[in-house]
Structure 1
């Protein structure tokens, strides 16, 4: 598939600076591009590659000012990263095969329903009383339990497991190995030192536009629902415990863990390997840094929390500036002790 630079600029609502008639047939990094490819420049630390790139076109910001001469054609847009993402989305839809139909063997209970233009891969399983919408892709070895409700335009990649009573909205994407609706970690300690299992009777609810990476687990609620809001994006290998609430457009990076009954607000960012204890609230627009431990509620919206155990990033940086000087301070203290 080939498109002119002018056609791509029209798609991105951008303006062309250079020869817009050139043909583009692939997307590549600015430092690796060849003739016929298009890249983007968002982070200025990569600006040095612009002046020697072999890409036929580069997407840049409207206010970008080059420091020296270059040979490539520019497409100027408001946000080059967003523009390139839009281009990737369009390209992905064109190259992705629009698979549909049923591969054998599969199992689909007679009490369940499914909309048109769906795909069911080999060895997939759909249980009783399920309602599945239109244009849903169920890849091989996907398990969907009883009483599951799935909206339109969802994709379940190979090996996904959806436990009974899970509810999934429209335009959701769940990658291989992820599990929705497994039992929460609920055990009651007994007088003899053993633990008694607490039945987990709730479910998992995903609103529209949720994306879940590979090998992520979202536990069902003890009662009620574990609730994942509209537009939430979850990375690979994330653990979300029972009765957790994630507000809309929150993003969670790999190996993060959220303990039971914690509520995370809207538009939050939870970085890799952060850990959050149970039964607390995280305010809207909170950013939690990598490896940070959150032990109490964050009540003020818009804060950045960093460190273990996490506290306000400004206080942490002040403390760290002292901490890294501890060997020097220790030596000075010993010298003073000797003089005394």
Structure 2
């Protein structure tokens, strides 16, 4: 990457104070910056470093007033943290989408369609009649089954497996080891104590701008579709079972498991190691604390819950405060019981 400060300022809608012709080829922390780097100052705890940094440019907020001389060129923006995030995103796009072409050995099945600007790495497999959009990047050892649709600008990293009939939207990211469309956990108990597998005939749909973390698995539906709506971000090592629906812009952290046919609303935040039982609904805007167990439907939107089983967060916090005091409370109760016995033996109480 090599851009002038002027070009970067134009991208960020910022104002340049200093030499706009300098070239930038790297992003760095403000305390580690060197010539050719660009950094940012969003937290005033780090202000000391702006006076000593060797970075060529620093992104700052409009309210920033220097107390000493600064050697770096400044790019003044409304929100330096947001602007630097945008710059990181553009840099990531530059890295991710620079690859192009079809490496060998790789396999493309009969009737498959590959869009313009595709990267198909060595040892990747694309099944029959699958349709791969423009600028899609498919890394080594990716398996894409038959009749799969992949939208434009999607990235599928090494070792991901996409089963047949899956639909993936535009601008999605599937990290290494992801499995999309594996069988749901459906088994019918038999009179002799054995289990008979229930055929899983549905598929998985990932809408646009979905990100799936490494080694996460999303099962196909028994019938119909398991659906991950637009803008959902799922962390590593998450299990999404058959016929689950996750509402748009919901985020799910690592090691969470969602059982079959549950519906998660929009804009929910689910922390790590949460367990969600099947056939329930979670309303829009729900926030679920780490290690919580969700065993029922919540009806009120925009609430926070935690615990096993989970309940409203303020009640949970009060309960945990009491729980921590249980040893002391137990000691007090035993002392009161002992004192009561002593008073009774001393005849302090008379029967009525």
Q: Judge same fold: TM > 0.5, yes or no.
A: yes
Q: CA deviation at 1:65?
A: 7.3
Q: Would the alpha carbon gap of residues 97 and 136 (structure 1) be closer, same or farther in structure 2, given more than 3 Å must change?
A: closer
Q: 302-311 vs 255-264, which deviates more?
A: 302-311
In structure 1, the partner of 2:18 is 19
In structure 1, the partner of 2:81 is 81
Q: Does 1:122 align with 2:122?
A: yes
Mapped contact 1:269–1:287 kept (Cα < 8 A): yes
Structure 1, residues 182-231: CA drift from partner, whole Å, max 9, x if none? 00011112222221111101000011111111111000000000001011
Structure 1, residues 291-337: CA drift from partner, whole Å, max 9, x if none? 11111112211111122221111111111221222222222222222
Distance in 2 between residues matched to 1:219 and 1:271, nearest whole Å = 21
What is the SS of the residue equivalent to 2:32? Answer: coil
What is the SS of the residue equivalent to 1:334? Answer: helix
Mapped contact 1:117–1:136 kept (Cα < 8 A): yes
Structure 1, residues 117-146: CA drift from partner, whole Å, max 9, x if none? 212111111122212222221211111111
In structure 2, the partner of 1:274 is 274
Q: CA deviation at 1:25?
A: 3.2
In structure 1, the partner of 2:190 is 190
What is the SS of the residue equivalent to 1:50? Answer: helix
Q: 124-133 vs 229-238, which deviates more?
A: 124-133
Mapped contact 2:30–2:49 kept (Cα < 8 A): no
Q: Does 1:59 align with 2:59?
A: yes
What is the SS of the residue equivalent to 1:291? Answer: coil
What is the SS of the residue equivalent to 1:51? Answer: helix
What is the SS of the residue equivalent to 1:170? Answer: coil
Structure 1 unaligned residues grouped into runs of 5+? none
Distance in 2 between residues matched to 1:319 and 1:76, nearest whole Å = 48
Q: Does 1:292 align with 2:289?
A: no
What is the 5 A alignment of 1:61-210? 61-63=61-63, 71=70, 74-96=74-96, 98-210=98-210
1:48 aligned residue (45, 48, 54)? 45
Q: 212-221 vs 296-305, which deviates more?
A: 296-305
Give the CA RMSD over aligned residues.
Answer: 2.2
Q: 146-155 vs 212-221, which deviates more?
A: 146-155
Q: CA deviation at 1:94?
A: 3.2
Distance in 2 between residues matched to 1:193 and 1:210, nearest whole Å = 41
Mapped contact 2:97–2:137 kept (Cα < 8 A): no
User: Which of the two has higher C-alpha Rg?
Assistant: 2
Q: Does 1:307 align with 2:303?
A: no
Q: Would the alpha carbon gap of residues 65 and 339 (structure 1) be closer, same or farther in structure 2, given more than 3 Å must change?
A: farther
What is the SS of the residue equivalent to 1:330? Answer: helix
What is the SS of the residue equivalent to 2:30? Answer: coil
Distance in 1 between residues matched to 2:40 and 2:129, nearest whole Å = 48
Distance in 1 between residues matched to 2:333 and 2:166, nearest whole Å = 61
